[in-house]
Amino acid sequence: MKTTITNQKTKPGNALTRTSVKTSNRRSASPSGKQASRKPLALVLLAAIAVGTAGVTLYSPASSAADEKKPAAATPALTVSTTRPQSATLPLRLTANGNVAAWQEASLGSESNGLRLTEVRVNVGDVVKKGQVLAVFSADTVNADVAQARAALAEAQANAAEAQANAKRARAVQASGALSEQQVSQYLTAEQTANARIESARASLASQQLRLKYTQVVAPDSGVISARSATVGSVVGTGTELFRMIRQGRLEWRAEVTAAELKNIRVGSTATVKAANGSELQGKVRMIAPTIDPQTRSALVYVDLPPDTRSNAPFKAGMFASGHFELGTSGALTLPQQAVVVRDGFPYVFRLNADSRVSQLKVQTGRRVGERIEILSGVKADMPVVLSGAGFLNDGDLVRVANAQARTPAGSAAAAPAQAPVQR
C-alpha cells in the first residue's frame, strides 16, 4: 500500500517516481526478509517450550507420588514346605537328677583282739559268696586257749561225778540217821556246785572256740567288695574295719524331687535312669523319703536298680545319673522339631498366611518324643506352619510353598496358597 500511494503523488516526475518506488521497494523488502529468517527460529523455540512443558508435566510431584504408590513386584524369598500341628498321646514324665549308691553296704571288721592278720584273700571289686573266707588271723594263741578250756571242762566233769556219787550215798543213809542233816546238806551242795562248774567250763570252752572262729573273716552275704583296708601282718583290735561290701551287688538311684512334684510319684512306679556314659537301666521306686531337706526343699526317691556284679558294669556307686519317672500318658499338640526355630533363647514357628507371607510366632514347648515336640501355646490345630526352611525366614517374608498349586500371572489377584498335607 505504501508503494501505491507514492506512485499516485508523484505522477509529474516519472523518473523520480520510479526511483522513489524502487527505493521504497528496497527498504520494504529488507524487513520482510528478516521476518522470513526469524520464522524457523521461532518454531524451534516453540518446540523446545512444548517439550519442556511436557517434561515438567510428566515428572511433576503428583506423578512421582503415583509412581511411589505403585507396589513393586515381590519376589518370593524361599521355597518352603508346610505342615499342621497334630494331636498325639505322649507319656507323662518327671525328670530328676541324683546319685547312684549301694542299696546296703556292709562293713566287715575284726572280732578278735590283738591278733595278727596273716592272710587276705580278696581285693576291691571281687565278687564273693555268702560264707566265703575273706581274711585269716593267727590262731596259735587261740588254739592254746581252746585246749586249756577243754581241760578245765574235763576237770569240772570229774569233780562233778565225784560230788554226785557222794550226794547219792548221803541220800541213801539220810533216813537211817547215820549222817547228820548238816553233812547231808554239804554233800548235796557240793553236787550242785560241781554241776555249775561244768557249765562254766563249757561256756569258757565255747568262748574260746568262738575266738577261734573269729580268726577267719567271712562274708555275711553275697556281694561285691567295694573297699579294703586289711593289711597282712597288722595287729588289729576288735571292731577295726577290714572290708566294705555292697550286699548282693544291688545299687539304687537316689533321685532328688521337689516337694511340688513329689505327689505325682508312687511306690512301684517305673523309672528310667541314664548314666553319664549313655547307658540306661529300668528301675522301680522302692521308697519315698518321709522328710524333705529344709535347705533344698527336695526329697529323695529311692529307685532299685537291677543287680550287676560285673567289673565293667555301666553303673557304679557314687556316680551321678539323670532319669525320669513314668507317670502315665496325656494328649498333646505336637509339631516336628524341624518346624521350631530357636532365636535369642526362645522357640518360634512361622505361620503361613493367605498372602503367601509368613508371621513369626513365639511358642512354648514341652515334651519331646522322637522327632516331634509338644507345643503348649502359640499355635492352633488347623494352623499351617512352615516345616522346611524355617531357619532362614524372617517375619513378613514372602515364600513359595513347594506343594502349592500354580498361581495366577502377575497383575491378577493372587490365589490362596495350597494347604500342605498333615505329616503323620
User: Which of 254, 224, 248 has the alpha carbon at shortest distance from 320?
Assistant: 254
Determine the pLDDT at residue 58: 40
| Mean of all residue pLDDT scores within the chain | 80
Q: How many beta carbons lie within 10 A of that of residue 62, not counting itself?
A: 9
C-alpha cell at 163: 560230788
Cα separation, 285 vs 147, whole angstroms:
54
Name, in order, each residue with C-beta under 8 angstroms of 404's C-beta and a sequence gap of 6 or more: 417, 418
**Cα separation values, 201 from 131, 237, 331, Å:** 29, 26, 78
pTM above 0.85, yes or no: no
Domain boundaries, the chain: 2-66, 78-90+331-401, 95-103+249-328, 110-134+220-248, 139-214
Identity at 95, one-letter amino acid code = T
Number of C-alpha atoms within 13 angstroms, CB side, residue 356? 23
Determine the pLDDT at residue 14: 40
Cα separation, 187 vs 185, whole angstroms:
6
pLDDT in tens, the chain (424 residues): 444 434 444 343 343 333 333 434 444 344 444 444 455 555 555 555 554 444 434 444 444 444 444 555 556 668 899 999 999 998 888 999 999 999 999 999 998 888 999 999 999 999 999 999 999 999 999 999 999 999 999 999 999 999 999 898 888 888 787 888 888 889 899 999 999 999 999 999 999 999 999 999 999 999 999 999 999 999 989 889 999 999 999 999 999 999 989 988 999 999 999 988 888 999 999 999 999 999 989 999 999 999 887 777 888 899 999 999 988 888 999 999 999 999 999 999 999 999 999 999 999 999 888 899 999 999 998 899 999 989 899 999 999 888 644 333 333 333 333 333 333 3
Number of C-alpha atoms within 13 angstroms, CB side, residue 288? 16
Q: Which CATH number fits domain 110-134+220-248: 3.20.20.70, 2.40.70.10, 3.40.50.300, 2.40.50.100?
A: 2.40.50.100
Q: Which CATH architecture has domain 139-214?
A: Orthogonal Bundle (1.10)
Cα separation, 317 vs 192, whole angstroms:
59
Task: Give me the CATH topology for the region 78-90+331-401.
Answer: 2.40.420
> Are the C-beta atoms of residues 414 and 355 closer than 8 Å to each other?
yes
| HEC assignment per residue over the chain | CHHHHHHHHCCCCHHHHHHHHHHHHHHHHHHHHHHHHHHHHHHHHHHHHHHHHHHHHHCCHHHHHHHHHCCCCCCCCEEEEEECCEEEEEEEEEEEEEEEEECCEEEEECCCCCEEEEEECCCCCCEECCCCEEEEECCHHHHHHHHHHHHHHHHHHHHHHHHHHHHHHHHHHHCCCCCCHHHHHHHHHHHHHHHHHHHHHHHHHHHHHHHHHHCEEECCCCEEEEEECCCCCCEECCCCEEEEEEECCCEEEEEEEECCCHHHCCCCCEEEEEECCCCEEEEEEEEECCCCCCCCCEEEEEEECCCCCCCCCCCCCCCEEEEEEEEEEEEEEEEEHHHCEEECCEEEEEEECCCCEEEEEECEEEEEECCEEEEEECCCCCCCEEEECHHHCCCCCEEEECCCCCCCCCCCCCCCCCCCCCCC
Long-range contacts of 4-12 (CB under 8 A, 24+ apart): none
**Cα separation values, 403 from 82, 86, 121, 334, 400, Å:** 8, 19, 74, 21, 9
User: Which of 222, 263, 260, 220 has the alpha carbon at shortest distance from 242?
Assistant: 220
pLDDT tens track for 255-269 = 999 998 998 899 999
User: Which of 402, 416, 313 has the alpha carbon at shortest distance from 79?
Assistant: 402
Helix axes 2-9, 14-58, angle to 10 degrees: 170
Cα separation, 140 vs 211, whole angstroms:
11
Cα separation, 391 vs 346, whole angstroms:
13
**Cα separation values, 330 from 13, 60, 216, 285, 337, Å:** 136, 67, 59, 22, 19
What CATH number does the domain located at 95-103+249-328 have? Answer: 2.40.30.170
